[in-house]
Every structure is written in structure tokens, then in C-alpha cells.
Amino acid sequence: MVAPVRKGEQAVTVVRRLAWELWLPALLIALWAIFSATSTDPYFPPLSEILDKFADVWFFEGIRTEIWPSLQRLFVGFALACVAGVGLGLALGVMTRVDNAVRPIVEFLRATPGVAILPVMILLLGLGDSMKVAIIALVATWPILLNTIDGVRSVEPVLHQVTASYRITLADRIRFVILPAASPQIFAGARTALAISIVAMVVAEMVGTPGGIGYYILDAQRGFKITSMWAGIIALGILGYLLNKLFALVERRVLAWHAGMTAHNRGGK
Amino acid sequence: MTTTEATKPDTRTGTVLEVRGLGHSYGGPQIFEGLDFTVGKGEFVCIVGPSGVGKSTLLQCLTGLIRPSEGDILFEGKRVTEPPEGLAIVFQDYSRSLMPWLSVIDNVALPLRSAGVKKAERLAQARQALVEVGLSDVAQAYPWQLSGGMQQRVAIARALASNPRAIIMDEPFASVDAQTRADLEDLVLRVRDHLGLTVMLVTHDIDEAVYLADTVLALSGRPARVTAMLPIDLPKPRDQLSTKALPEFADLRAEVYTLIRNPATA
């Protein structure tokens, strides 16, 4: 059980933790700002110029024209990957023999770098949004799929006896037993999938039709708009960071029981 | 070996479970063979035997979780080929048999959901079962937030929620401390009386078997056989102090001990 903490103490802890998390990034940014301040190298302009450009480009026109379309592709692709990965993973995890049969193929496809299939996708789907979404979905599916299979297969054997003896229907078994039991592993897979789907998004945008943040960065570099290029890269970094935070937020909500149980068991020993 | 007429308790008004010529092996040597016994309605049967004698395998056969290699099991006259309706199980390890992602009440109500009971109705039934085991105040907690004894009471409530006619318990109190164990034993006796259940309980603890049972079924040997169906005619209601202080209690305990250790000389 958690001891009651007074509000003041809690606030102090939060501030202390934030300070501990932020001092190094702050220091690095400060060093970058100081050492680049007098830079005349066209490839590494002063940070202040990059930040001016950053504010200029992204607030708020750029968010609407570049970032929002990128995010839409990312979300559609990632959502497709989640549905396909969890759905297929569930089926293969339950049907052990089918899983054993297709496992080598799955491993091979996963080991093939997703972006290597980009030319094929371009041939089949062209340079537009469907190609971009498809490549994101494709690369993001594998980690979710494999983790779902493992999660489903490692359901506590006693629970299988419980569901059999209590005559739990297949639908209820999937929804209330197998999926929740596998959810910590599914989330671990989805976290990896999110990271690589951002990579896939950038690459797909760089080779595809104009639009999106990936295209913006490449286009800036080609046009020798170096500060714009850096502003794009920084925006991408921040975007990835925020998406991860958002993911962690969702995970904490869905897996609250798991975090609670883990903390409880650790404390109890 | 079959039960003789004299061993049948007075409460008996029919046979709930009938086992005929039961034997099982997992492909290797026979674990048990030639088991014949019947369990009457409202009877409390404790199955005792040394570790490794195949008690858990026997329970899995009785509950329809595994198909025995020989013989027949009839539950209420019907052959058991899959887990039958009206028979509920309490597993040994509560920390693994309860679902940590479901609250206590949702754990208890899940089998009812699968049985097609409407939401309001199944929550009411689950709440009633929690009252029966004295846990109505922790319905919204997660199982892992409770003590071991309370978790096993949740598992018992889950078994009771669907109004079974018989429950089977596999060493249900093996992993709780002595005081909790005594409390749980009395809880099971009380619930059995209140609901008129037939109970089969596996244990390796002879004291527990004698204290709880109307009939002790002793298993022994390799492959295991029924070495005795011993009627326990201790007065009811049983009481942890006075029942265990009776000279008859000590006698029965010694008898069961002998039956298990040296079946040949018994």
C-alpha cells in the first residue's frame, strides 16, 4: 500500500524528477547554442537562426500543411498494423500447429527490412498516400504480430483449465482472458512498431509525392535551405518524442492492473 | 472396492458422482487403476493420499478436463466427456487461477457471462456469492490486492456464483497459513450446509480430511487404488477445537494414516 503523501511533498518530488530528467538535454542545447552562435558554416547555422526558422515554419501554418498530413498517414498505417498484428497474432497463437508451420515465413518477412519492399510498393500502389500508408502498416505489423503470438502462447496454463472447466465461451475467452493476459507483450511490440513506423513514414514521404514532414526535410536540403532542413529535423524529433509520451499514457491506462500488480508483488516480498 | 451401504450418510438421497473402473496413464505407467466409488448428494468426500499418488489427475478426470484412458465417470447419471454444467472447481493456486486484470466481482461473474446471464442478474448473483464467503466489501478490488486467504475465498465465490450442485476442490488450502486454513475449512463447511452442496476435496493433510469429511477416500499404491472409503461419523457441526479434541478424531486420524502408509496391513 502506498503511504499517503502530502500535496507539498508530492509537488517537490515531481519538480525534482523533472529537473533530473531535463538537466542534460538543457545543457546540450545550451552548448549547441553557444558553440554555434558565431558559426559561418552554411551547413551548421547558429541555433538561434534554426529556432527562428522553426517558429516561422511550424507555428502554425506548417503544422496544418506538413505535420498533420504526416500524422494522418502514420495513424492510419499504425492502426492497420495493430489490427492486423493482433488479429493474426491471436489466430496463430491459439492455433499452435499453424503457427509452427508459418513461423519460418513470418521470421523471414520480419527480417527483411521493410523499406526494401518500398520499390515493390511503388510499383503496385504508386507514389501517393496508399503507398505511404501501406509501407508504414507493413513494417509496423511484424513486432506486434510476433509479440502477440508469444503473449497468447504464454497465457498461464491454469487459466486454460479455469476457462475450460467454467465453460467460458471462445469469444469471452479471447476478450477477457487471452487478450488481457497477452496485453503487456502486445504493448511492448506496439511500442517498437510505433518507433519504426515513424521511420517508415519519413522514408516513404521522401520518395513519394510532395507533402509531409519527410518530404519537407529532403526538399529543404535539395534547395539548400539548410536552416529549414534543421528546423524540419528538430520538429520530427519532437514529434517522435511526443508520440512516445502519448503511447506511454495509453499504455499506463490500459495496463494499470499490470503496473499495480508488479509494484504490489515487488513491495510484498 | 465399492462403498458399502453402511457408509452412506443419512443426507443421501441419490448419487451425484459415480466412478467405475477408472484408470489413467499419460502413456507411461498407470497412475491409478480400477477406481470404483460413488459420491452421494450432499456428501462431503475428502480424497487423501501421499504426494504424487495421482490425486490431481483424478480430479482432472472427474471434472472432464482430461479424458481417462479406462473406465467411466457419471455426473448426475450422465457420462462426463467435457466439464459438465452444475460442477464447479476450485483450483489449488489462487494466484494463478484468478485473473489479475479483472476486479474481484468481474472474476466471479465471468462464468455467468458465458452462461448467457444478463448483466444486472449476473452482478447480483456474483455479489450474493461474495456475501456467502464474506467478501462483499472488496468487490471492486483486484485479486492481487488481497491476502492469500481472501483470494481463495474469491475463487470459492466464483465456484458458487453459478449455483453448482457439486464443487470439486484441489488442495484448496495448501498455500495459506494455518489460521487462515482453519477459517477456510469452516467457511467451506458452512457454505456446504447452507447451500446443500456435494463437495469433493483433495488434500494430503489427514487432519483436514478427517475434520471436513463425511467420507474419506484413501488412495495409495503405484498404480494407485482406493484403499478405503472410510465413513467419518464425528458429530456435526464440526468445531476446530472440540471436534479435534475428541478421542474418535484421533482414532480416525490414526486409521487414515495407516491406510495410506501401509495399505497392506490395514
For each of the domains in chain A, give its residue range(s) and CATH number, in order of start: 47-265 (1.10.3720.10)
Residue among B82, B110, B142 minimizing CB distance to A257: B142
Q: Do B101 and A183 touch (CB under 8 A)?
A: yes
Residue B12, pLDDT score = 45
**Interior/surface letters B178-196, b for 16+ CB within 10 angstroms, e for the rest:** eebbbbbbbbbbebbeeee
Q: Do B97 and A167 touch (CB under 8 A)?
A: no
User: How many domains is chain B built from?
Assistant: 2
* Minimum mean pLDDT range among A14-28, A40-54, A64-78, A167-181: A40-54
Q: How confident is the model at residue B264 (pLDDT cuts 50, 70, 90)?
A: low
> Is the confidence at residue A4, as pLDDT, over 80?
no
Residues B185, B121 within the same domain: no
Which residues of B fall within a CB distance of 8 Å from A257?
A: 100-101, 142
Residues B155, B202 within the same domain: no
Which residues of A fall within a CB distance of 8 Å from B144?
A: 260-261, 264-265
Residues B125, B219 within the same domain: no
| ipTM of the shown complex | 0.86
Nearest-Cα distance to chain A for B163, in Å, is: 12
Euclidean distance between the first and the last CA atom of chain A, given in angstroms as a whole number:
13
Q: Do A166 and B63 touch (CB under 8 A)?
A: no
Residue A33, pLDDT score = 87
Question: In chain A, what percentage of residues exceed pLDDT 70?
Answer: 96
Which residues of B fall within a CB distance of 8 Å from A165?
A: 63-65, 83, 88-89
CA–CA dist B259, B266 (Å, integer): 6
The answer to whether residue B21 is domain-embedded is: yes
Q: Is B205 helix (H, G, I), strand (E, B) or coil?
A: coil
Residue B127, pLDDT score = 95
Question: In chain B, what percentage of residues exceed pLDDT 90?
Answer: 58
- For residue range B38-90, list pLDDT tens digits in order: 999 999 999 998 887 888 889 999 999 999 999 999 999 889 999 999 999 99
Residues B79, B141 within the same domain: no
The reported pTM is 0.84
Question: In chain A, what percentage of residues exceed pLDDT 90?
Answer: 48
> Is the confidence at residue A52, as pLDDT, over 60?
yes
Residues B121, B233 within the same domain: no
Q: How confident is the model at residue B259 (pLDDT cuts 50, 70, 90)?
A: confident
The answer to whether residue B1 is domain-embedded is: no
Q: Do A172 and B110 touch (CB under 8 A)?
A: yes
The answer to whether residue B174 is domain-embedded is: yes
- For residue range A159-172, list pLDDT tens digits in order: 999 999 999 999 99
Residue A220, pLDDT score = 85
The answer to whether residue B66 is domain-embedded is: yes
Residues B134, B19 within the same domain: no
Residue among A177, A260, A265 minimizing CB distance to B99: A177
Are B17 and B62 contacting, i.e. CB atoms less than 8 angstroms apart?
yes
The answer to whether residue B242 is domain-embedded is: yes
Which residues of A fall within a CB distance of 8 Å from B160?
A: none
Residue B266, pLDDT score = 43
Residues B172, B59 within the same domain: yes
Residues B156, B191 within the same domain: no
Stretch A195-202: mean pLDDT: 93
Which residues of B fall within a CB distance of 8 Å from A159?
A: 96-97, 99
Chain A residues bordering chain B (beta-carbon distance below 8 Å): 156, 158-159, 161-162, 164-169, 172, 176-177, 180-181, 183, 257-258, 260-261, 264-265
Which residue among B163, B181, B205 closes a domain? B163
Which residue among B163, B180, B210 closes a domain? B163
Which residues of A fall within a CB distance of 8 Å from B114?
A: 166-169, 172
Q: Do B114 and A167 touch (CB under 8 A)?
A: yes
Residue B5, pLDDT score = 42
Q: Is B34 helix (H, G, I), strand (E, B) or coil?
A: strand
* Minimum mean pLDDT range among A9-13, A87-91, B242-246, B259-263: B259-263
Residue among B93, B101, B113 minimizing CB distance to A257: B101
DSSP β-bridge partners for residue B220: B225
The answer to whether residue B5 is domain-embedded is: no
Residues B182, B137 within the same domain: no
Residues B179, B248 within the same domain: yes
Residues B173, B139 within the same domain: no
Are B111 and A168 contacting, i.e. CB atoms less than 8 angstroms apart?
yes
Q: Do A172 and B115 touch (CB under 8 A)?
A: no
Burial label, B140 (beta-carbon count in 10 A; 0-12, 13-18, 19+): exposed
Which residue among B116, B132, B163 closes a domain? B163
- For residue range B95-154, list pLDDT tens digits in order: 899 999 999 999 999 999 999 999 999 999 999 999 999 999 999 999 999 999 999 999
Which residues of B fall within a CB distance of 8 Å from A177?
A: 99
> Is the confidence at residue B178, as pLDDT, over 50?
yes
Q: Do B144 and A264 touch (CB under 8 A)?
A: yes
Residues B193, B159 within the same domain: no
Residue A5, pLDDT score = 53
The answer to whether residue B118 is domain-embedded is: yes
CATH number of residue B182's parent domain: 3.40.50.300
The answer to whether residue B74 is domain-embedded is: yes
Q: For residue B57, give its domain range.
A: 13-86+165-265
Residue A246 CB: number of other CB atoms within 10 A?
11
